[in-house]
Structure 1
Amino acid sequence: MGNALRDRTVVVVGRGSGIAHAIAMLAQAEGARVVVAGRDRAKLAAAYSDSDITAEAVDITDDESIADLAGRLGAVDHVVSTASARARGKLRDLDRQKLQLSFDTKVIGPAMLAKHFAPQMKSGGSFVLFSGVHAFKHNVGYLGVGITNGAVDFLARWLAVELAPLRVNAISPGVIDTGAWDAFGEDGKRDYFKDIAEGNPVGRIGTADDIADAALFAMTNTFMTGVTLKVDGGEPLV
């Protein structure tokens, strides 16, 4: 493809599939040295066995683990945190432990990534965080998801000021066709995707590549910081 990330080091925190995989593969195609990091290093290594991508272990809910990762990798150019843990349900069903895990994974974890990686990040570097459509679309049943994603949106803006001139942006995906919806079953997933596609302005479900393109833009546009890119098919508008 291109050379938008030539000679850059990109760290992608998350799983070896879906959005994280698409971002890692695109970054490599654009010339980057890519490191993927997650809890299961062996599983990550297997997911990227056909590439030159390096797998590392990290528990984003553990500060010492994050500090160790930063120490092993040294200076990098971009850190992308795609890790997530959803706390779905109405207020009456909200589970404290699930909500705490959601915050730990999507808000506190990325804040700790910034804490440990920012001091050694190269000039022109950036962080890309992940919010989500329910930060902006207030559907009953998604309270935990919404407040977590809203906190990510705020965190990106705060860090953009505190870490300047390093850049910090977030991406807010809509419903994306990944394995995250497999628990619905084939029929349930198909029906859910159909309803979402018919209800948003672009008339389709998003793909992992749609989000990877946005992540590449966030990493390479040097005049953008403190922004949450809404890549959601216009879903919150209707």
Structure 2
Amino acid sequence: MTTSPDPAGRPGGQLTAQSVLVVGTGGIARATARLARAAGADVVLAGRDPGRTAAAAEATGARPEALDLSDDASLSALAARLGRVDHVVNLAAAPANGPVRDLDRAGLVRAFDAKVFGPTLLAGALDITTSLTLFSGFVAWRPAPGRVAMATANGAVTFLAQALAVELAPVRVNAISPGVVDSGSWDGLGEGKEEFLRGTAAANPARRTGTPDDLAGAVLHVLTNPFLTATTLHVDGGGRFA
């Protein structure tokens, strides 16, 4: 018996009867939720903004849940509601960008709560059976002025994935490091967005920028490859070498 293909051209059914918790409501989180659903998973999409979470869940066929990674009570409440989860994917982010002289402690804590502290505590609170996937970012390998907090938090994710892979084994823990992806996060550039994306594509060895589906496909690979753990998968078009 063969399974029908999913929208990205991969075989369906790879996650049949498995549960996937996706933390985040942006473009990559939505694409991941859709692809996991197409692969047969029961998907929960969690976020701290009720309206955004509900809209993202409705658009992807996922079930919405409230989660604030910076709040211990919120973590415990979600763990109590969900119980056992096969896969967890954390796409939460709270960038604290700007010159180092302008950074404050609260902003730094928010950045690390989203990428490092919160996911660590979530891993301890949930009963994860199969995999945990974290999101880093290529700025960790190509730091730039005004990106100290982002580069450091993203770099910490790689080491967190390695440490948790050893701690939680045989649960597999990996990180994905995206490059510039047109996921909605660059819309704040306004009219300058297209020029920025064209310039980035011209500099990348892949000669393009990423799409949410590019990253969702990488997530599905990480979720379904039983021999992949303690690894950071770079999905950046080679941008860290540009």
TM-score, normalised to structure 2, is: 0.92
User: What code does the residue aligned with 2:148 have?
Assistant: L
Q: Which amino acid aligns with 1:106?
A: K
Q: Tell me the distance in 1 between the aligned counterparts of 2:97 and 2:199.
A: 19
Contact 2:34 2:61 in 1 (8 A): no
- Residue 70 of structure 1 is matched in structure 2 by 79
For residue 25 of structure 1, report the CA deviation from its aligned partner.
Answer: 0.5
Residue by residue, what CA displacement relative to the aligned partner does 1:18-77 show, whole Å, maximum 9, x if unpaired?
A: 010000000000000000011123432233325541101111111111111011011110
Letter of the structure 1 residue corresponding to residue 229 of structure 2: T
The residue aligned with 1:38 is 47
> SS at 2:76's partner residue?
helix
Contact conserved, 2:67 with 2:74, CA < 8 A, in 1?
yes
Normalising to structure 1: TM-score of the pair? Answer: 0.94
- In structure 2, the residue matched to 1:131 is 136
Corresponding residue of 2:102: 93
Task: Give deviations 1:192-231, integer Å, cap 9, x for gaps.
Answer: 1111111110111100000001111111111010101100
Deviation per CA, 1:116-153: give whole Å up to 9, x if none.
11xx223xx10000100011112222111100101111
Contact 2:141-2:240 at 8 Å conserved across structures: yes
Q: Equivalent of 1:23, from 25, 32, 35?
A: 32
Counterpart residue number, 2:157: 152
- Which of 156, 164, 170 aligns to 1:165? It is 170
Name which of 21, 28, 38 aligns with 1:11: 21
How far has the Cα of 1:94 moved from its partner? Answer: 2.6
Is the partner of 2:185 in helix, strand or coil? Answer: helix
CA distance in 2: counterparts of 1:70 and 1:126, whole angstroms: 16
Partners of 2:91 and 2:221 in 1: CA distance: 16
In structure 2, runs of 5+ residues without a counterpart are: 1-5, 7-11
Q: Structure 1 residues 116, 183: CA separation in 2 closer, same or farther (over 3 Å shift)? A: same
Q: For 1:160 and 1:31, how far apart are their aligned partners in 2?
A: 25
Amino acid at match of 2:63: T
Shift in Å, 1:91 = 2.3
* Matching residue's letter, 1:231: V
- State which drifts further: 98-107 or 23-32: 98-107
What one-letter code is carried by the residue in structure 2 that aligns with 1:161?
V
